[in-house]
Structure 1
Amino acid sequence: MVRKLAGTVLAAAAVTALTVGPAAASSGASGATAASAQLIRTKVYFGDCENTCQIKVRISNISRTKIFDIRLKARLKINGRNVGSCTDHAGSLGAKRTKWASCTVRGKSLARAYDRYLEGFADFDQQANTTVYYRYYR
């Protein structure tokens, strides 16, 4: 439960994009964070991506304030087409700490894209756009 303290509750979001080719689908690659003055840094990793695709995000708090109500929203595209999205609630994060958040995309569109890849009709180029929402006391 969140208690109101003296100060203002602020909300912010950090956006990360990651593109991975079919050969590097299970290895980690880094993305770039969005605007300046963010309290967090994120790094996106892919798990196994076949009929279901796991998106893992390492969230690092680089500030001296406690961040709470961290939420992850991820959208997965295969070959430029949106195949699904997922969300995760990561909770709170202390100052100078790191936490992992992950969610799994599954659905008919992803299964069809993977089947077309197995049959040799299309590539399987993955792109994940993630947004991490958080709140903190000033």
Structure 2
Amino acid sequence: MVKGLVGTLLSVTSAVAVAGAVVAAPSAANAAAPSSALAVVAANTPATLSSTAKPHLIKYKIYWGRCKDTCRVKVRITNISRTTLYAVSLNARLKVNGKKVGSCYDYVGTIRAKHSRWGGCTVRTRTLSNMWNRWLDGEIRFDRDVNTVVHYEYYR
């Protein structure tokens, strides 16, 4: 039985929601405490994680193939859990100089526990080709960046 669909992002920030801490009003004994002390207490109170956080069962690394007027994105996906992952798929969004130039999709399949598989796709768009031609003419820089999302299902 499928328990849930879990996705993870490559970026450093996690998809975990963080709840803020609540500070109670001072009691009558602490009425003389300045209001700045409450701000210090609120800033030093640890935040709690939301109960909706899903486990991250994979890790992956991005490799670049040829990236000129077409761009090949290759991703090594490793299952770090003890469960088999089913219906693993990869979405990649390619940006050049902060501008989205295209995206691609790949179905990877099943990844057994503690094993790895390769996924990859090629971005071919007119925008990417135009950006490459502008770089060849010396008009712009060609700083590529990719944001990938991996979706999978697992059973408990």
TM-score bracket, normalised by the shorter chain, equals: 0.7 to 0.9
Contact preservation (8 Å) 1:14, 1:33: no
Q: Of 5, 9, 15, which aligns to 2:9?
A: 15
SS at match of 1:85: strand
SS at match of 1:90: strand
SS at match of 2:62: strand
Query: TM-score, normalising length from structure 2?
Result: 0.72
SS at match of 1:112: helix
Structure 2 runs not aligned, ≥5 long: 16-53
Are residue 104 (structure 1) and residue 122 (structure 2) matched?
A: yes
Structure 1 runs not aligned, ≥5 long: 1-6, 18-31
For 1:86-97, list aligned pairs within 5 A: 86-97=104-115
TM superposition shift of 1:65: 0.3
Contact preservation (8 Å) 1:12, 1:135: yes
Contact preservation (8 Å) 1:33, 1:42: no
Distance 1:8 1:110 in 2: 39
Aligned length: 118
SS at match of 1:132: strand
Are residue 127 (structure 1) and residue 121 (structure 2) matched?
A: no
Query: Larger helix proportion, structure 1 or 2?
Result: 2
Distance 1:67 1:125 in 2: 34
Contact preservation (8 Å) 2:85, 2:111: yes
Are residue 52 (structure 1) and residue 70 (structure 2) matched?
A: yes
For residues 12 and 103 of structure 1, do their structure 2 counterparts lie closer, same or farther at Cα, with a shift above 3 Å needed?
Answer: same
The one-letter code of the counterpart of 1:128 is V
TM superposition shift of 1:48: 1.1
| Partner in structure 1 of residue 132 of structure 2 | 114
| Partner in structure 1 of residue 59 of structure 2 | 41
Distance 1:68 1:9 in 2: 12
The one-letter code of the counterpart of 1:12 is V
* Larger Rg computed on CA atoms: 2
TM superposition shift of 1:34: 3.9
Distance 1:137 1:123 in 2: 46
TM superposition shift of 1:46: 1.1
Query: Larger strand proportion, structure 1 or 2?
Result: 1
